[in-house]
Structure 1
Amino acid sequence: MRFPWLRRLRARVLTSPLALAWNRGRQIELMHRAMGFAALGFLTLVPLLVVVAAADPASGLGFGRWLGDALGVSAASRREVEELFGMPGVALERTTAFGLAALAVFGLTFGSVVQTGYEKVWDVPTARWHTMWRHVVWLALLVFYLGLLVNIPVPAGFGVRTLLGGAGDLLFTLLFFWWSQRFLLGGRVRWRALLPGAVFTCLGLVGLRGFSWLVFSPLIASNAVIYGRFGTVLVVQSWLVGVGVVVYGGALVGRLAHERRTLRRLRAGGLVPDPPCDRF
């Protein structure tokens, strides 16, 4: 070859962790799964959390306030989000038992979708139908966890209380996603192997918050003028797609980091490493 350095550079790029993560993401259809996560999340979690937030009279705008803070947008864009999910008392009064039952059915589908995504990330067999009770437990704890975040007041400014509150949210988010992977995978992957995925998921959510401030905040302001409230819905749906990418992508990067660390430990011990194993 005329330029051997170019050949070496190409081989190094193709075997880099970034290229490996990209190829694994294509194999599990990361974007497709993230869009399914966003669709079912908007269909199930948003109505459930609106009702949960409305059940507490002291929560004010409830879910709209929390979602605006989770998006990390400006004050003007946050008001648009709060108006979109306003009037919590009316939502609670008009909620029927049939509506809650329908949301519960779609919620079970949402849990199944998240479980399937984790199974694809770790290359484990699809769980059988009799494990559906895990979706019920996981959905209940997810709604409980998010309901607490909705009803906990957000301290204003950048004081010590704000820093402690943010650190507490990150800690509970880390624990929740760590447990979610272990629970939905039916204990087929060790806790130690799942910890990097939970860490990367938390870091991804922090990065998504910064991305929202730079991109989604001006989009909400402009779309509200052009499309009205429907423009705000489009931005919220796009944000949910980003959350789906972070949830699945964080687990995927965590698996790659665990495999890399395990192979490095095997080489340090003088052992001949086998091909990367799915579960250690």
Structure 2
Amino acid sequence: MRLPRGTRGRRKEQLLLARMRVVRARSEAERRFPVITELTARLFSPGLLDSATRMASQLFLTSIPLLFAVAAFAPEGVRNQMNSSLRSLFGISGASAEQLRQALYSPGDLRQTTGIIGLLMALLSGTSCSRAVARVCEHAWQLPKSGTRVAAWRWLLWIACWVVVLLFQGVLRNGFGAGLWLGLPLTFAASFLVWWWTARLLLSARIRWLSLVPGALLTAIASTAMSLTARIYMPIALNRSLAQYGSLGLVLMVLSWLIAFCIAVTFAITAGAVLAQERPLSAYLGPTGPERRGT
């Protein structure tokens, strides 16, 4: 049924008026809050998702061999801690938990496969993950790449500390035995400190500590939220994928979660950088350049 010409004309006029109101409201918001324009432009830039997926792929390709290499030479207490942390991180149970146990508790086979040279190579290759995270931070702050001489030791330090932090995820999330009511704020606080230090380290101290606070807060919120959803969704998804596709299913599920995690972290780091550089926060945080002293 076709509308009369008068009715169609009124509909077009109403749509035009509504569009003009939206444009006017957007212009007014951008005038009052210029951070909105910069935030939108930065979050929807073409290279942002590329940086996130690159970080996820590097994290996957380097973290799993590195964890197995560490488990090959670590004492049983460290392997127990690693098993507890990985199970807590992804909520692993059932068949997938058995697969993890078999992978971590075969030190003899792992040592023969890995060797000391393999362990060192896994640690050195892990710096590619550090470089990917550093590039995300530099892209967020629109900084050039750091020189290799300045940043090489930072890459090694970051990947080594990352392994240590991962080992303690189990006890943190359990609140040192007190439960989730304490584990959740502890996880958030630890995540904030780790990402705050990460940005400072991998940016080669080119950005002041105070300016990095918004990004660390947003990244802690994003990573904590992702960890909570992982505990709910991943156990079922991992066991289902293992039953249908075998070990390949586990690989695909972990990679999918890492991509989602890295996208959330990349968006949070970028949003934090924009908020720190634009008003009103920039008036309180001060200049976003490096400090005169310290590293």
For the aligned pair, the TM-score class normalised by the smaller chain equals 0.7 to 0.9
1:146 to 166, 177, 184: 166
Identity across matched positions, percent: 24
Alignment of 1:57-68 (within 5 A): 57-59=76-78, 61-68=80-87
Pairing partner for 1:6 from 19, 22, 37: 19
Do the aligned partners of residues 26 and 264 (structure 1) sit closer, same or farther apart at CA in structure 2, a change above 3 Å counting? closer
SS for the counterpart of 1:220 is helix
Q: Which has the larger radius of gyration?
A: 2
Residue in structure 1 matched with residue 226 of structure 2 by the alignment = 208
Q: Is the 8 A contact 2:91 2:232 kept in 1?
A: no
TM-score (norm 1): 0.79
Superposed displacement of residue 175, structure 1: 1.0
When residues 20 and 213 of structure 1 are mapped into structure 2, their CA distance, relative to the original with a 3 A threshold, is farther
Aligned residues: 267
Structure-2 separation of matches of 1:140 and 1:129: 18
Structure 1: give runs of 5+ residues left out of the alignment: 267-276
Corresponding residue for 1:96? 115
Q: What is the identity, as a one-letter code, of the residue corresponding to 1:34? A: A
Q: How much does 1:236 deviate?
A: 0.8
Q: Distance in 2 between matches of 1:6 and 1:104?
A: 56
- 1:27 corresponds to which of 45, 57, 75: 45
Give the alignment of 1:29-178 within 5 angstroms. 29-53=47-71, 55-59=74-78, 61-72=80-91, 75-76=93-94, 79=97, 82-83=100-101, 85-90=103-108, 92-94=110-112, 95-131=114-150, 132-149=152-169, 152=171, 155=174, 160-178=178-196
Matching residue within 196, 200, 204 for 1:186: 204
When residues 65 and 22 of structure 1 are mapped into structure 2, their CA distance, relative to the original with a 3 A threshold, is: farther
Deviations 1:247-271 (A, max 9, x none): 32221121233244536848xxxxx
**Using the alignment, how far apart are the partners of 1:20 and 1:81 within structure 2?**
46
The 8 Å contact of residues 81 and 168 in structure 2, kept in 1 or not, is answered as no
Within 1, Cα distance between the matches of 2:156 and 2:282? 39
Indicate conservation of the 8 Å contact 1:71/1:239, yes or no. Answer: no
Q: What do residues 56-105 of structure 1 show as CA deviations (whole Å, max 9, x unaligned)? A: 313455534422311245x3375266357442524653321221232123
SS, match of residue 192 in structure 2 = helix
Comparing 185-194 and 140-149, the one that deviates more:
140-149
In structure 2, C-alpha distance between the alignment counterparts of 1:263 and 1:108, rounded to whole Å: 33
Q: Could you tell which deviates more after superposition, 233-242 or 45-54?
A: 45-54
What stretches of structure 2 of length at least 5 have no aligned partner?
A: 1-11, 291-295
Which region of structure 1 is more displaced relative to structure 2, 18-27 or 182-191? Answer: 18-27
- With normalisation by structure 2, the TM-score equals 0.75
When structure 1 is superposed on structure 2, of 9-18 and 241-250 the one drifting more is: 9-18
SS at match of 1:186: coil
Contact 2:208 2:288 in 1 (8 A): no
Q: Distance in 2 between matches of 1:63 and 1:10?
A: 53
- Number of the residue aligned with 2:260: 242
Contact 1:44 1:107 in 2 (8 A): yes
Q: Distance in 1 between matches of 2:24 and 2:251?
A: 44
Question: Pick from 219, 244, 247: which aligns with 1:226?
Answer: 244
User: Aligned-pair RMSD on alpha carbons?
Assistant: 3.3
Distance 2:102 2:37 in 1: 40
**Which segment drifts farther, 158-167 or 250-259?**
158-167
Change (3 A) 1:216 1:109: same
Evaluate the alpha carbon distance shift between residue 186 and residue 58 of structure 1 in structure 2; reply closer, same or farther with a 3 A threshold: closer
| Contact 2:71–2:107 under 8 Å retained in 1 | no
How far off is 1:29 after superposition? 2.1
d(CA) in 2 for partners of 1:22 and 1:90?
52
